[in-house]
Amino acid sequence: MNMAVDEALLETARAVSIRFYRWQSPALSFGYFGRFADVAHYALQRDLVRRWTGGGIVFHGEDLTYSIIIPATEPAFGESPKSIYEKIHCALRDALTANDARVELAAMGRDAALRRPRTAQRAVPTNVCFANPVSADVMVNGQKVAGAAQRRTRSGLLHQGSIQHVDLGNGFAERFAKELSNNCETGALPEAVHDRAQEIAAEKYATNAWLRKR
């Protein structure tokens, strides 16, 4: 349902939004291009789900997960995925810094890539997302605490991120949202989006065909 809600929000988005969520039980998500064989042995310990976005293996349960939706009608949608990734993580860095953490972004430049080589994604543990910082990931004292992956469609851009291994303190979600925009308001998930997410979950994310497609 977490994956389905994000996809439903992307389908129906009329404005930029950020959603924060947790997990009911220990879970593991892996990227769209990942191999099920690389995560199958975790099935007895965690719920498994293939993301619609790319990237490596992410362990969920203790983390704070978020998604940002940018509709295709927004000017920001015209920016490169790398630029969007960096700007979101700059805002995240600043929100964490407000909590007195020593925070920086992983090295950026010609030799730093947002995506690891395909050969690296196919091996364990190199495909474990938080063991492998990439350009513009958020670091605290040299440890990766936040990474993300994206999916771009005709409807807009979906950015899914996870924050872990760091004390977020009180009011973190509000600080992060404010760093992204000074024009924010809190709202509940629309019932129509929830209903659509249930359809997507049943037809896609809950099926073995989707989970084991590679």
Catalytic site positions: 129
Q: How many CB atoms lie under 10 A from the CB of residue 142?
A: 9
Q: How far is CA 206 from CA 6, 27, 47, in A?
A: 15, 14, 11
Hey, CA dihedral for 137, 143, 145, 150, is it positive or negative?
A: positive
For 203, which DSSP code? I
Question: C-alpha angle 71/150/198, rounded to 5°?
Answer: 70
Q: From CA 63, how far away is CA 144, in angstroms rounded?
A: 13
Q: Residue length, the chain?
A: 214
Phi, psi dihedrals of residue 163, rounded to the nearest 5°: -120, 125
Q: How many H-runs (helices) and E-runs (strands) does the chain carry?
A: 6, 9
Cβ contact 30:38 at 8 Å: yes
For 191, the enclosing helix (H) or strand (E) is helix 191-200
Q: From CA 86, how far away is CA 136, in angstroms rounded?
A: 5
